[in-house]
Amino acid sequence: MKQWVIIVSFILFMPSLFAASQPQLKNSHPEIYVVKKGDTLWDISAVFLDNPWSWPQLWQKNSYIKNPHLIYPGDRLHLIWVNGKPQLSLKKYLKLSPQMRVVRQPITSLPGYLMLAYVAQDKLISAEALPTQPQIMGTSEERGYLSVGDVLWADQSLVPTSQWRVYRLEQDFDRDDSKDKVANSAIKATISTLKEIADVTVIASDGAMSQLKVDDFQQEIIPNDILLPLLPLLGIDGQADLSFSPTTPPASLSATVLGQISGYSYISNYDVIVLDRGHLDGMIAGQVFELFKPGAQVQGKKGQYHYQASTLLTDSTQLGTVAVAQAMVLRPYEYFSLAVVLNNQQPFKPGVVAQAPRL
């Protein structure tokens, strides 16, 4: 009988083990917040919460709105309590005018300049995709420097009048799970960062090659630069989905920061980083991770402890990890993801670990 009681008690207790953590309200939280122009979901979350990634648990849909992402400047967010739990309720701000119709843009998770460039346009390309992309061959005049209006050739037949962006491969990042005993997989993949070079338009195609006209350029175009379709940065109503909100990733999901997309040695606030996990691993735009660097190494025996001075000695102890920042996933690729660094405490180097926030 006691065994059955224990089993039933464990079954009843199991949901609490896997339940999402409750949002932690700030002591100074307001009861009502009026959304201002320039606000983001992350900003507003931080007004109410000590753990902004718990924003979806605080949000309460109501009759004023069907999509919790569509919050506009002027809207009033009311903190209410439902069954003992804090929730936010939205009251829309409606401004009627007989003279004009004002079109308002809903706020996004982060400022547009941090999102559009990385969500709407490709910044990474896999080693498998590279051979399929059109590449620059050069100019008929063998010119080394091109300006706006000049013509050059690509090695594939492209649709006339279509617009393309010229990129140059910058740095490679590798993922090799066979070296990770915990991962229990054998995924080996390489991805390259892309540097924007120029924008071009297809003016003619002969079925095997295409002529391109330079529309704009940031740097000299050279043979073997690759081409990707130029997508409009339309934001909310376009092809770039900016409607994701800050969320907590599963506790089992972790990643390693491979580097900064611009190639800098040190990483700081609002830098965009590359993680070695992608959508096939469960990465979703909006997930917020905490970044931890390894703690110091201490050597010596009791009474003689000192920080590691030599790698030759074997009696060293690794101290606990140190939180250095948070990072929100902007765009997952197959095996890798782009994320933006937030709340950075100190500059750090690649190699830190991204884990679900410690609550």
Per-residue pLDDT tens digits for 284-293: 998 999 999 9
Say yes or no to pLDDT of 196 above 70: yes
Closest CA to 190 of 249, 276, 254: 276
Closest CA to 338 of 268, 282, 257, 281: 257
Beta strands in 65-150 (DSSP E): 76-82, 85-91, 124-126, 136-138
CA gap 89, 87 in Å, rounded: 7
> Higher-confidence residue: 185 or 277?
277
Beta strands in 64-117 (DSSP E): 76-82, 85-91
Q: With left for phi above 0 and alpha for psi between -120 and 50, is residue 161 left, alpha or beta?
A: left
Contact 245, 286 (CB under 8 A): yes
Which positions ≥6 away from 332 have C-beta within 8 Å? 278, 279, 283, 284, 285, 338
Taking only the tens place, the pLDDT of each residue in 162-171 is 999 999 999 9
DSSP character for 99?
S
Q: What is the pTM of this model?
A: 0.77
CA gap 327, 163 in Å, rounded: 33
Look at residue 299 in the predicted model and tell me its pLDDT.
84
Q: pLDDT-based confidence at 27, cuts 50/70/90?
A: confident
Return the sign of the alpha-carbon dihedral for residues 218, 220, 225, 229: positive
Q: pLDDT-based confidence at 5, cuts 50/70/90?
A: very low
Look at residue 311 in the predicted model and tell me its pLDDT.
61
Least confident of 50-59, 100-109, 145-154, 251-260: 100-109
Look at residue 310 in the predicted model and tell me its pLDDT.
65
CA gap 256, 275 in Å, rounded: 6
Name, of 88-92, 120-124, 175-179, 336-340, the range with top average pLDDT: 336-340
Region 81-99 average pLDDT? 71
CA gap 91, 76 in Å, rounded: 5
Q: What value does the mean pLDDT of the chain take?
A: 81
Look at residue 98 in the predicted model and tell me its pLDDT.
53
